[in-house]
Amino acid sequence: MFRLDGKTALVTGASSGLGARFAEVLARAGARVALAARRTDRLGALAERIAGFDGRAMPVRCDVTDRASIAEAFEAAETELGPVGIVINNSGVSVQKKAVDISEADYDHVFDTNTRGAFFVAQEGARRMIRHGLEGRIVNIASVAGLKVLGQLSVYCMSKAAVVQMTRAMALEWGRQGINVNAICPGYIETEINADYWGTEGGKRLVSMLPRRRVGDPKDLDGILLMLAAGEESRFINGAIIPVDDGLTLA
């Protein structure tokens, strides 16, 4: 239903997990995709996989904690693929500790990536969309943790709550320029990073407390991602904060 032919997208955190899935989904919908990540060694394999179904993708190095690196990634993407009209702001990290045990380094690590990094990626994307006169789409990947407190994830919850408010502020400010800014708040999704955890006693205990006693699959985010990244189909959706969590925020 949602086609992105002729559009260029940039996905941060594309080297693994949800970022890699998002990049592939956008490419299958016809977008040219800049695969942005610090770990560029894994981007080549993803670009080849996308080329295998006649998609087009290029790896670009991007450290979201470094503003110069962000600008360089966008510049490289524009040079090779054309002006970026879709930004999937996905990079994120977490530290699981009790609040009394969080160090200053832990705090800075989470906020530098999840909040500061997300802000400057969106800012760089918006500046270029405005310069090129594009009606762009920015999709911030927040988290159910930005809407609901999760145990031993205080700093992560704080950082994602900031992304939720950041999304609303940007949507209000950039709407007149034709840029829609929305956020997806995933619940517990099984990826290669956390797959082993769900088989542990702690993982099983957590699943037993979820509303439908299951975790999600990355493909469960495909539909909302494509809708928000599309053009006319999402023209009237701006500043939306959308939980995709199987009802977790209702529990």
Would you please indicate which residues are annotated as catalytic (active-site) residues?
156
d(CA 159, CA 7): 30
d(CA 182, CA 241): 6
d(CA 24, CA 18): 10
Q: Note the helical H segments in 146-192.
A: 154-174
Helix (H, G, I), strand (E, B) or coil at 50: helix
d(CA 236, CA 230): 11
d(CA 7, CA 62): 20
Q: Is the distance from CB of 78 to CB of 52 less than 8 angstroms? A: no
> DSSP state, 152?
T
d(CA 23, CA 243): 20
Q: Which two tokens stand for residue 145?
A: 């943790």
Question: How many Cβ atoms sit within 10 Å of the Cβ of residue 172?
Answer: 12
Task: Please choose, from the candidates 149, 170, 185, the residue with its C-alpha nearest in 3D space to the C-alpha of residue 238.
Answer: 170
